[in-house]
Chain A
């Protein structure tokens, strides 16, 4: 069971008006040192924020804490997560469920493992829609929402490929599966999409396509994205701001260009130094970072 303790870090009134999410929290598991230590993360409406850190640094823990899905692992969360002016940690499970999939969405790392292998795509998309549909909604409304979501992620609808929604996860390519997941995630036009290593398992070309898709959805829907990754180049291409997470602490955060051009923390400098040393590469990254920051 999740236990929450209020900490006087910030209150809803202190959160900036354009702020969508403001998290200040410490997460620990019983008998272990904290997984996240007093981290602060702010995301404005329509902003794409990158959360970068190596494996085990606590990135996914933060994502699960925001979604309220750490409870079953007996995590203790201290602090607050102000989302749309309300503290997620103070909400009941029922209230949290109302946010999950509607205003807060998640896309996981392994697209094929994240789709139910026993269900057809239509069933999975329908279930995601029904989780937050009105009681008066008809199956036509559901089909319309599914077709719209598929179109948004450039997947074939019933008109283009009548068999597509009859497929199961095993019949999809990794890229297609990731698009289906994104379609499920954006079905209710969430205010915040959490992409937890969403492109890490993809090949370079598919990764690039999915990144472009995220950027387009951010532009078209105005959806904020918390883009969690250990891959700095991909973060540079899409995020306006970056937070560097190291051993459970956010050691540095700032505009993407600043992080790339003037990393302040030693760990961030190590990350930069670890980038492939191809002469053109760094300049390309800087150009990307500059472009992303200006967005």
Chain B
């Protein structure tokens, strides 16, 4: 592991640890309003100041980080499982099923991702509880984000289907789901891992985009998207630079994830 990857690993771990320790680091919570101090600048009591309704920005950044960092891997898990089912199975079956799956994934990929995401989210109820909004956001990301991974997996599974060891397994009398689960799937693991890790930063950004548009996680629950949305009202960066912390955090974490992915994973 080179120095940059080590540093990226440390950054991601520290950010994750801080978000998980939010209850201790910011015991007041993300929703508590300090009505006597709205829009307050950073102080000993509020490290990043407060927002316009007096909520502690530091607490909201920590809790928002927790939501985004949990949401993205959960969505990545859903999309990777779907990709394995659609792409992996189609590649393993080959022939008609492979052509069908590829046609379907190509159609899916031809749709602009963000446009699709916004459209589908806008079709669903917006006036929902914060927890429901988290579930909806994570499910949308997971259920719509599988196509690219499925394309990669179908190619890998197709190559495996024609490999000598699968031929040997079939010549031994193995067939059906057992052949797929025992012989094919373990060989797709590296690709599955790669697709999972690649999806995480994509979904973090996607959630942020939805949040900026007010289609992501509902208030008062914070996420990086909803925190970035607060930048809308920012008049001068120089006067209130602390308000850029969520943006900087997003950039740092995204960069770290990219550095963590090896070249092999990116090209897998």
Contact = CB atoms under 8 A, between A and B. Distances in A.
**Contact size class for A?**
20 to 34
A54 interface: no
Nearest to A103: B173
Given A108-B167, A114-B164, A117-B165, A131 B182 contact: no
A252 B35 CA distance: 99
A123 B165 CA distance: 13
B195 to A, nearest CB: 17
A271 B170 CA distance: 34
Given A117-B165, A118-B189, A72 B172 contact: no
A117 B165 CA distance: 8
B95 A127 contact: no
Interface string A149-186: 00000000000000000000000000000000100110
Contacts of A99: 173
Given A72-B95, A116-B183, A97 B173 contact: yes
Given A116-B183, A118-B187, A118-B189, A69 B170 contact: yes
A7 interface: no
B221 interface: no
Contacts of B186: 116, 118-119
Contacts of A127: 169, 172, 174, 178, 182-183
Nearest to A113: B164
A108 B165 CA distance: 9
A24 interface: no
Nearest to B190: A118
B173 A100 contact: yes
A288 interface: no
A116 B16 CA distance: 37
Contacts of A185: 172
A128 interface: yes
B165 A113 contact: yes
B182 A69 contact: no
B173 A98 contact: yes
Contacts of B187: 116-118
A25 interface: no
B235 interface: no
Interface in B166-207: 167-175, 178, 182-183, 186-187, 189
A119 B170 CA distance: 16
B164 A100 contact: no
B163 interface: yes
A116 B95 CA distance: 23
Interface string B59-92: 0000000000000000000000000000000000
B94 interface: yes
A248 B167 CA distance: 22
A237 interface: no
A99 B172 CA distance: 9
Interface in B214-264: none
Contacts of B168: 106, 108, 114-115, 181, 184
19 contacts: A67-B171, A100-B172, A100-B173, A101-B172, A105-B172, A106-B167, A106-B168, A106-B171, A106-B172, A113-B165, A114-B168, A116-B169, A118-B187, A128-B169, A128-B172, A131-B172, A131-B173, A184-B172, A185-B172
Interface of B: 94-95, 163-165, 167-175, 178, 182-183, 186-187, 189
Given A108-B167, A127-B174, 15 more contacts: A72-B94, A97-B173, A101-B171, A101-B172, A102-B173, A105-B171, A113-B163, A113-B164, A114-B164, A118-B187, A119-B182, A128-B173, A131-B173, A132-B173, A184-B168
